[in-house]
Structure 1
Amino acid sequence: MNYINPIIIELLNKRGISEDAEIEEFLSDKPQKTYDPFLLPDLEAGVDLLLEAIRDRKRICIYGDYDADGITSVSILMEFLGILTDQLQYYIPSRFDEGYGLNAEAVRKIRERRTDVLVTVDCGSVSYEEVELAKELGMKVLVTDHHSITDVRADCLLINPKRPESSYPFRELAGCGVAFKLLQGIQKKAGVPKKILNRALDLVALGTIADVVPLLDENRTLVKHGMHIISSGLRPGLSALIEGISFKRENLRSDQIAFGVAPHLNAAGRMGDAKVAAGLMLEKDQSTIQSQVSQLIDFNKQRKRTQEEAYQLCAQLIDEHLKDRKFLVVYAEDVHEGIAGIVAGKLKDKYERPTILVTPSGEHLKGTGRSVNGVNLYQVLKSHEELFFRFGGHEGACGFSMKRDKLETLEALLEQDMKRMLDEDPELFSRLIRADLSLPVEKVTLELAQELELLAPFGSKNPKPLFLLENIRAARLQPMGADGKHMRFFAVSQDGKSVECVLFNRAEDFKQMLYGEASINLIGSVDFKEWRGNKRVQFNVESVV
């Protein structure tokens, strides 16, 4: 191996990567860790089903979710299969009228369009009744999904790395990753040029980052190669969106996708129609692209305004009525259900409690929950699933539908659950941020910041490394933002070495320590800022201790 900064090696060792070959693969610009798609259960049969349908000119419908993973999954299949057949259409349900996953009304509509083969992406594993209906109506069904299977699973071809009997080496693919593995199988059997297949990797990278699956193993391979394609600008719609939100595709980072690009795709499904986002990913006409980009930007602005209003309303409800609760269940009559999940996440962060935001949905209630580290929300809610008529999710986020008269019972049960868990572990809600390594101030350099980018893309299970700066004082403090919630300052060590720091959102929390006389410790990440082509190192503070 070429020279690698010992700090990088130590960080990798702490993350369980210690063998030379593992280190080389992890740091490689073009990693090779990927697996035979035919190891996935039902994948070969699914490939045969689609190739037979294409040969016989059967009508195929791709059915996907309305979030960024679903949107990219739909786009991936539409683009690739569109090369092989013109008997192709897609369907993305409305978040507001239909909700997540397959639904019976949509299945009937799709059959009325004379569809012969229904293919799901990013959903469908436990849609037993809806799949049975599709079969009764005369359709063949292929489900591709990545969600956990804890209920009666659909009785059809089902490609999902999380199937209990699956021997696929990596279980954490996003929905778009599973869709890509299906296309790998088709490419191999049909002899499609590999460059056409790899053309989809930009969307795989986008959907994988957006869905917050672990950026390790095969996901890391898919994302790294996909980021190269994004930077090349081969997809005009995606390039126009990146430019429209003032990013540069040539050096786009995973956090810019997670907190910039992906929210604009999600905003379509939250505030309007997800088909606008899917259409942008497939569009070639520049005038149409500019119109779609403008729509997404408008959707996202609307989402931000609506989200902030809802957040303030819910925070007031908690402060006035729920402050002593260990599990926050917030019923909000007037909150737009398209942003309920984001607001639940912000409330969870503010109050450091698992939080469910409940909104009216016709005659029933819809709940969207987000959880803190250490509380498996899926398991907690699963133990009360008799209260729901629709329920799904994972450890950190869940959604459900229920009758109105069940809400009070749910609140009481969840509060009991949380009190019991806190009795067993009183530190459950502690917001302790731990550093990966201690670092002298003089080692916080632009060179280190750039070398740390070798560990990117950062995300779930591969977070940005956090460093501890000990015994420093804060100097030249400069509040930022209209309300002073951010702070820029210099961290000065005992021997006079200094580095510029920025603290976002929590200036008020640490104000007394920053302005005090006593030495403090900082925990944060080593990064850089760029202005007019010049780069400067910056320490992004996460906590003051």
Structure 2
Amino acid sequence: MKEIHPIIEELLKKRGVSGEEEIREFLSEKPQKTYDPFLLPDLEAGVDFILQAVQDQKKICIYGDYDADGITSVSILMEFLRNLTERIEFYIPSRFDEGYGLNMEAVKKIRAGGADVLLTVDCGSVSFEEVELAKELGMEVLVTDHHSITDVRADCLLINPKRADSAYPFDGLAGCGVAFKLAQGIQKKAGLPKAALNRTLDLVALGTIADIVPLLDENRTLVKHGIRIIASGLRPGLAALIEKISFDREKLSSDNISYGIAPHLNAAGRIGDASVAAWLMLVREPNKISQYTDQLITCNQQRKKLQEQAFDLCKELIEEHLSERKFPIVYAEEVHEGIAGIVAGKLKEQYERPVILLTPFGEYLKGTGRSVPGVHLYQLLKSHEELFLRFGGHESACGFTMEKTNFPILEQVLEADMEQALREDPDLFQQTPLPDMALEGNQVTLDLAESLDCLAPFGSKNPKPLFLLERAVLSRQQPMGDGRHIRFLAACGDGYGVECVLFNRAKDYESMIYGDQPVDLTGTVDFQEWRGKKSVRFTVGSMV
């Protein structure tokens, strides 16, 4: 194993990665950590079921969610199963008319369209009633999912690493990861070429990063190999989208996927029809690729505009009526339902507390919540589930539908919950992340910035390392753009100067940036490349 930068070694140790073999696997360009798909509950029976359906020439309908994980999950199985059958279609529900997960009307429509087999991806674990209806109508059902099972389980074959009886060693797969493991099982049993399976890893990487599941363990293997396939340009629709949004696919990072590609896939379901994004991943005709790419870019532009307007409106509502609330619940009739989740997330970051955004949904209300670290939103709302008609989510994000009359009750109980939680932990809302380690100015080098890349892909449970520059004196301040960003030089205690940049929050820290007192800077060590020349910079996240 080649020599590792001592700071990288220290960071790995702090993240629980130790021992030569474990370090080698974590840093490898071609990691090997993966598990036998047949360890997943019902996977072997699911593989046999699909192969029998293909042999019997039954029509299969893949049913997925309208987010990037659902879209990539649908695309993986559509592409892979086409190696076995042409009697296959997919269905992605409308966010606006149908909502998340299986629904009764969709099940009826799918059966009326001639489907014999309903195969879900990224949803369905607790869709007991919908699965029963599908069976009554004469369909056979296989559910693949990765969400927590906290309600009555669907009575059918159910592949989910979070099942209580699962023997699978890793429960952090995204929906697309579970779909891939089903495809892997089919490939092994049917004797299909591995290339048919591996060419879908680009979609697994997209969906896994977009769904913010832990980028550790088997996910790290899937994503690293998937990013290599993206770089090869094997999928023409994805390559066209990457080129159109001005990314270099050969240098694509997890951040590029999170903040560039995934929002375009999600925008299809937020603004229009998520099927457009799935078709872009599947088609090969240049005219269709161009058409679908343009549609996604237009949807994302509309999404950005709506998001900005909605955020400003909700900020105004909070500051006028809810500024003292520990858990603001914002009712915003004018907010486009498709961007409610993003806006709730932005409000959560702005006010450093959990936020729910309510929008009208026919005669009901639809709620979208986002939470801060330390407040388990799913458990909190689960304790009041009698208030909801439909409800689901996880630790940091939840969605629900409820009667309008329950709105004031929900406000009251969640505010009381938060007040109690803050009595028990007054620092609950202090979100400033702790740095991984402190650096001297002379340690902020291009060599370190480039070495840190070996810890990528960064994301959930494997964030970009945060460093602390203590008691830095700031000078050479240069505002950028409209004044929201700024560059400056930080003179550190050891006498070395570090070039710094702060994005979006220059006005928040204005007094410290231009003050004469030393400040502590927390941020990341990065490099930028301009005309073939690389330079190191410290990207500031916060300062005190």
Q: TM-score, normalised by structure 1?
A: 0.99
Q: Are 1:410 and 2:410 an aligned pair?
A: yes
Q: Are 1:171 and 2:171 an aligned pair?
A: yes
Q: Which amino acid aligns with 1:503?
A: L
Q: Cα distance, 1:72 vs. partner? A: 0.2
Q: Cα distance, 1:495 vs. partner? A: 4.6
Query: SS state of the match for residue 237, structure 2?
Result: helix
Contact residue 522 and residue 543 of structure 1 kept, 8 A: yes
- 1:525 aligned residue: 524
1:394-421 CA deviation, whole Å, 9 max, x = no partner? 0000000001011000000000000010
Q: Are 1:118 and 2:129 an aligned pair?
A: no
Q: Cα distance, 1:494 vs. partner? A: 3.8
Distance 1:153 1:272 in 2: 31
1:214-246 CA deviation, whole Å, 9 max, x = no partner? 000000000000000000000000011011111
Q: Are 1:243 and 2:243 an aligned pair?
A: yes
- 1:490 aligned residue: 489
1:251-281 CA deviation, whole Å, 9 max, x = no partner? 1000010000000000000000001100000
1:104-146 CA deviation, whole Å, 9 max, x = no partner? 0000000001111000000000000000000000000000000
Contact residue 473 and residue 514 of structure 1 kept, 8 A: no
- 1:544 aligned residue: 543
- 1:145 aligned residue: 145
Q: Are 1:66 and 2:66 an aligned pair?
A: yes
Contact residue 145 and residue 175 of structure 1 kept, 8 A: yes
Q: Cα distance, 1:481 vs. partner? A: 2.5
Contact residue 327 and residue 355 of structure 1 kept, 8 A: yes
Listed as ranges, the matches of 1:448-527 within 5 Å are 448-482=448-482, 484-527=483-526
Q: Cα distance, 1:533 vs. partner? A: 2.2
Q: Cα distance, 1:539 vs. partner? A: 0.8
- 2:199 aligned residue: 199
Q: Cα distance, 1:504 vs. partner? A: 1.1
Structure 1 window deviating more from structure 2 (458-467 vs 505-514): it is 505-514
Q: Which amino acid aligns with 1:537?
A: V
Contact residue 470 and residue 493 of structure 2 kept, 8 A: no
Aligned residues: CA RMSD:
0.7
- 1:49 aligned residue: 49
- 2:328 aligned residue: 328
Q: Which amino acid aligns with 1:252?
A: L
Q: Which amino acid aligns with 1:450?
A: E
Q: Cα distance, 1:480 vs. partner? A: 1.7
Distance 1:442 1:477 in 2: 21
Distance 1:172 1:287 in 2: 38
- 1:443 aligned residue: 443
Distance 1:106 1:495 in 2: 65
Q: Cα distance, 1:493 vs. partner? A: 2.1
Distance 2:243 2:162 in 1: 37
Query: SS state of the match for residue 509, structure 1?
Result: coil
Distance 2:493 2:460 in 1: 35
Distance 2:466 2:347 in 1: 24
Q: Which amino acid aligns with 2:206?
A: L
Q: Which amino acid aligns with 1:230?
A: I
Listed as ranges, the matches of 1:56-455 within 5 Å are 56-455=56-455
- 2:533 aligned residue: 534
Query: SS state of the match for residue 508, structure 1?
Result: coil
Contact residue 433 and residue 543 of structure 1 kept, 8 A: no
1:330-389 CA deviation, whole Å, 9 max, x = no partner? 000110000000000000000111000000011110000000000000000000000101
Contact residue 440 and residue 493 of structure 2 kept, 8 A: no
Q: Cα distance, 1:30 vs. partner? A: 0.4
Distance 1:243 1:270 in 2: 22
Distance 1:390 1:73 in 2: 23
Contact residue 441 and residue 494 of structure 2 kept, 8 A: no
Distance 1:520 1:418 in 2: 33
Distance 1:340 1:92 in 2: 19
1:26-73 CA deviation, whole Å, 9 max, x = no partner? 000000000000000000000001000111110000000000000000
Contact residue 201 and residue 222 of structure 2 kept, 8 A: yes
Distance 1:52 1:254 in 2: 38
Contact residue 468 and residue 523 of structure 1 kept, 8 A: yes
Q: Cα distance, 1:291 vs. partner? A: 1.4
Q: Which amino acid aligns with 1:224?
A: K
Q: Cα distance, 1:530 vs. partner? A: 1.6
Distance 1:352 1:170 in 2: 31
Q: Cα distance, 1:532 vs. partner? A: 2.3
Query: SS state of the match for residue 162, structure 1?
Result: coil
- 1:34 aligned residue: 34
Distance 1:531 1:300 in 2: 28
Question: What runs of 5+ residues in structure 1 fail to find an aligned partner?
Answer: none
Distance 1:366 1:532 in 2: 49
Contact residue 440 and residue 494 of structure 2 kept, 8 A: no
Alignment identity in percent? 70
Distance 1:393 1:431 in 2: 22
Distance 1:417 1:148 in 2: 23
Distance 1:160 1:433 in 2: 32
Distance 2:215 2:101 in 1: 25
Query: SS state of the match for residue 500, structure 1?
Result: strand
Distance 1:494 1:24 in 2: 35
Distance 2:216 2:81 in 1: 28
Structure 1 window deviating more from structure 2 (437-446 vs 235-244): it is 437-446
Contact residue 238 and residue 280 of structure 2 kept, 8 A: yes
Distance 2:179 2:433 in 1: 36
Contact residue 488 and residue 502 of structure 1 kept, 8 A: yes
Distance 2:494 2:370 in 1: 44
Structure 1 window deviating more from structure 2 (468-477 vs 117-126): it is 468-477
Q: Which amino acid aligns with 1:539?
A: F
Structure 1 window deviating more from structure 2 (468-477 vs 374-383): it is 468-477
Q: TM-score, normalised by structure 2?
A: 0.99
Q: Cα distance, 1:433 vs. partner? A: 2.4
1:63-116 CA deviation, whole Å, 9 max, x = no partner? 000000000000000000011100000000000000000000000000001111
Distance 1:154 1:532 in 2: 56
1:490-540 CA deviation, whole Å, 9 max, x = no partner? 112245421211111111121111111111111100011122222211111
Distance 2:350 2:254 in 1: 25
